[in-house]
Amino acid sequence: MSTILEAQDLKKYFKTKNGYLHAVDGVSFRIEEGKTLGVVGESGCGKSTLGRIVLHLHESTGGKLFYQGQDITHVNKPRLRQLREDMQIIFQDPFSSLNPRMSVRETIAEPLILNGKERGTDLNNEVDRVMETVGLPQRLADSYPHELDGGRRQRIGIGRALALNPRFIVCDEPVSALDVSIQAQILNLLQDLQEEKKLSYMFITHDLSVVKYISHDIAVMYLGQLVEKAETKALFARPAHPYTKALLSAILLPDIHAKKERIILKGEITSPINPPKGCRFAGRCQYATSRCEEEQKLEEVEKNHFVACCRAKELGM
């Protein structure tokens, strides 16, 4: 299976009055065609910034980015316009990401018009096709976002992303603002679209239950860095990094009688502004030693399972 997207040592720093905020710091990963990479972590860990770097909504400070084997780290406007057809995004908030003055039909038609793809009757037919694909009835074509519920608004966002027939989509917490029952509908829609159109996703979320359901592989981020990366089943069965173990311990079980040890994180969170070169989780880790002051790099602890912790093998998975 070929790689559709590859990141090598991606960095994004933001200048502040006290130094540089390391939003993304040395992140590397691959996404295979037709697969989903889930990126999970606490709010502020840099996962949304990472998604925006991939789409050139933010320009990277350093590192390399490849799409279908071609270097797209720095691209000119004509090339970026081409990439926009192949790489799209679904935003978190289905209300604020839509223009309140544009109807459903106008919203889905906009990318087609801007890219000169369809006109007249062909444009209307294409919009109708997209609406049917994402489960929006034709009677809603002239409705506006404020007239619809969250689930339908998110379907508009998905339709807008699909209008140009992309191959890769960044899903930036697309269900976090929805009710649980609606979340399931949107997740199932995304999976059906992936199977039908051979789409590849980067699925960004803080919800481990969601990422387990939809992802083939998972990357765990902490303060701008990947601390663990593995296939979904392996990560949930044998988490290796102390931070990943703490995240998994917070998942609620449906059985009220089931006993589960909850790992409570204590200590100070490392500042992302000019952070030390050592492990950024060390201040909250009960297993931290002086070795954690050294730079931690992702190392393979078993096949396709990588962890950035010098004590991972010693503590057991």
d(CA 168, CA 65): 14
The three-point CA angle 216-221-222 to 5° equals 160
Which DSSP helix (H) or strand (E) runs through 244?
helix 242-249
The DSSP code sequence of 190-220 is HHHHHHHHT-EEEEEES-HHHHHHH-SEEEE
d(CA 298, CA 307): 5
Percentage of residues of the chain with pLDDT beyond 70: 97
pLDDT surpassing 80 at residue 119: no
d(CA 299, CA 228): 9
Residue 85 CA, distance from chain mean position: 19
Please give the pLDDT value at position 316: 67
> What is the distance in angstroms between the CA of the first residue and the CA of the last residue of the chain?
28
Name the residue with higher pLDDT: 102 or 257. 102
**pTM to 2 decimal places:** 0.93
Please give the pLDDT value at position 264: 80
Q: CATH assignment of 3-222, given 3.40.50.200, 3.40.640.10, 3.40.710.10, 3.40.50.300?
A: 3.40.50.300
Instruction: For 154-197, write each residue's pLDDT tens digit.
Output: 999 999 999 999 999 999 999 988 888 899 999 999 999 999 99
pLDDT surpassing 90 at residue 87: yes
| Mean pLDDT on 241-259 | 80
Question: How many CB atoms are located within 10 Å of the residue 19 CB?
Answer: 13
Which DSSP helix (H) or strand (E) runs through 172?
strand 168-172
Please give the pLDDT value at position 256: 66
Please give the pLDDT value at position 317: 55
pLDDT surpassing 60 at residue 56: yes
Looking at the chain, the domain(s) classified CATH 3.40.50.300 span 3-222
